[in-house]
Amino acid sequence: MAVASIRSSGYAPLVAGAIAAAGGASVAIIQQISGSAEALGLLALPVVVALLLRSVWWACAGVVAVICVVPFATLPFGGPVTPTLLELALITWAVLLGAVTLVDRTQELRIGPAHVLWLLLAGVCVFAFLLGIGRGYTNETLHTFFSFMLALGVFVLMAHQVQRAVDAVLVLRLLLLGTSGAAAVALALYAAGAAFTERVLLRLVPYGYPGSRIVRYIEDDPNRPMRAVGTSVDPNSFGGLLMIGFVLGVACLVTHRTIAPRWLALGASGLCGTALLLTYSRGAWVGAFIGLVVLLGMRQRKWLPALGLFGAAAIALGLGRGFVERLWLGFTLQDPATRLRLAEYQNAWEIIRRHPWFGVGFGDAPSIDLQAGVSSVYLTIAERAGLMGVAAFALVIIVTGWNALRLVRSPGLVGDVSLALGAAFASALTAGLFDHYFFNPRFAHMAALFWLIVGALVALSQPRSGTGWSFQPQASAVRSQQSLSVDHHRGNFEVKGHTDAGPTA
């Protein structure tokens, strides 16, 4: 990527000294507060600092790792508010990226219509939050909203960090690695059984994980099949994470240009696809299907009839009967979970009717006969931030979708990576019809994942140096593409190969 390492800026000794001093003080303070051996884990801080100083991509990789593997982990000590690892990772990424941008004058700070619309959405959310003060806000409410706004800010970080197509390829590969790892952990726990899963996940309780409802079943009935959840607490949000990994993996298999190694693409699609089925998350299933349709419709139309025939044959032969029956019960509104969703929709409509413009904020509903919370991203936005929030969100989505549709028709690497991210984007929007985790402060990691994808798509559509809105138009227009590697001498992630002019607007 064009973002340079702090090490090359001349400020590395000062930054390293400051972080090392802060780290040493943190170890001592935490040891005194908690009196526990967990503080010794911070002795790994010098290694982390060294990696972060060598490339800002390590901060991005850390965020992806936390999102996929330990999304709810916190620091192992108590207090009024305990920071989560996701919050610390996001703040670190923002600080490092900001520092690099300030010291490296060749960095572009590109601003386009999507940035302005995103800022409008963020402003509406903050305004709705302020209007809702007094409606049951607690310290936890303030904390989750802060975490949610950090997750929303991933859009800005990703839109700035991705400055060429090969940067987006690196983001895609990080997502494939992270989701594959999460799927592998979930499958191992699922295969070991409920008792083993509970014993393992109970060890995460000191790190902010819940101590109840650890093993999840369909409709919370132990007599029904167990749901895969891994370390993500909630099987539906975990299904959304796996849906993204599955769609990206398949995208790497159907595109004409290899944007990820075959072993990684096959591993991600296989692991994530299998674990996705075992979450029994129907919204994520439908979202993954839409993502497949987008991929095949844009690149491999000849496979669409074969996909339809395979699905019909599987149903006729009774393959995966339990999955098909669960999906059918949802479509026909016959199971309790679906009927509960219908009640939530009616409740949401009443809240929107009474508070149409800016919603009820991020606390409780203003009257005892109503309850805030609904299994839909779009109704959740309308409840929390009103129709103004829905309008701002819709404008961001429309601009991003239009740019993605234009980009997928581009030749070469730009078109292929845009198609992969665009299909994941379409999957997320579809799953958002049936669940709320992409816009729920309690699932900040899923909100961060969504805005990471949106930011990467927007970055790919931005004009190159010398056009559009740019504060630093002198950056090089020559971009390299092809295979990803790590330069062990410079310590930066790089993509090596032949050069081209990069994406055009």
Q: How high is the pLDDT of residue 194? A: 94
Query: What pLDDT band is residue 304 in, cutting at 50, 70 and 90?
Result: confident
Segment 405-443, tens digit of pLDDT? 999 888 788 899 999 999 999 999 999 999 999 999 999
Q: What residues are paired with 106 via a beta bridge?
A: none
pLDDT exceeds cutoff 70 at 354: yes
Count the alpha carbons within 13 Å of 463 in the hemisphere toward its beta carbon: 13
Check residues 156 and 343 and name the one with the higher pLDDT: 156
Among 105-114, 231-240, 437-446, the least confident range: 105-114
What does the alpha-carbon distance between residue 94 and residue 102 come to, in Å, rounded to a whole number? 12
Q: How high is the pLDDT of residue 42? A: 59
Q: How high is the pLDDT of residue 313? A: 67
What is the secondary structure of 405-419 as a DSSP string? HHHTTSSHHHHHHHH
Check residues 8 and 220 and name the one with the higher pLDDT: 220
Q: Give, to the nearest 10 degrees, the angle between helix 85-103 and helix 444-461.
A: 30
Task: Tell me the one-letter amino acid at 382.
Answer: A
Q: Find, among 93, 150, 95, the residue nearest to 444 by Cα.
A: 150
Q: How high is the pLDDT of residue 4? A: 43
What does the alpha-carbon distance between residue 18 and residue 323 come to, in Å, rounded to a whole number? 54
**226-227 and 469-470: which strand pairing?**
unpaired
pLDDT exceeds cutoff 70 at 247: yes
What is the pLDDT averaged over residues 335-361?
A: 87
Query: What pLDDT band is residue 325 in, cutting at 50, 70 and 90?
Result: confident
Q: How high is the pLDDT of residue 60? A: 94
Q: Find, among 484, 485, 479, 477, the residue nearest to 498 by Cα.
A: 479
Q: How high is the pLDDT of residue 39? A: 53
Q: What residues are paired with 337 via a beta bridge?
A: none
Report residue 133 CA to chain centroid gap.
28
Among 91-105, 216-230, 236-250, 483-497, the least confident range: 483-497
What is the pLDDT averaged over residues 355-360?
A: 91
Check residues 407 and 47 and name the one with the higher pLDDT: 407
What is the pLDDT averaged over residues 226-241?
A: 95
What is the pLDDT averaged over residues 42-57?
A: 74
Q: How high is the pLDDT of residue 429? A: 97
What is the secondary structure of 345-383 as a DSSP string? HHHHHHHHHHSTTTTTTTS--SSTT-----S-HHHHHHH
Q: Is 72 in contact with 49 (CB distance < 8 Å)?
A: no
Q: What percent of the chain has pLDDT over 90?
A: 51
pLDDT exceeds cutoff 60 at 228: yes
* Residue 410: CB atoms within 10 Å: 17
pLDDT exceeds cutoff 60 at 2: no
Check residues 169 and 464 and name the one with the higher pLDDT: 169
pTM of the model: 0.84
Q: Is 72 in contact with 147 (CB distance < 8 Å)?
A: no
Count the alpha carbons within 13 Å of 292 in the hemisphere toward its beta carbon: 17
Give, in order, the Cα–Cα distances in Å from 172 to each of 65, 319, 417, 443: 13, 32, 8, 21
Domain range list for the chain = 6-500
Q: How high is the pLDDT of residue 102? A: 83
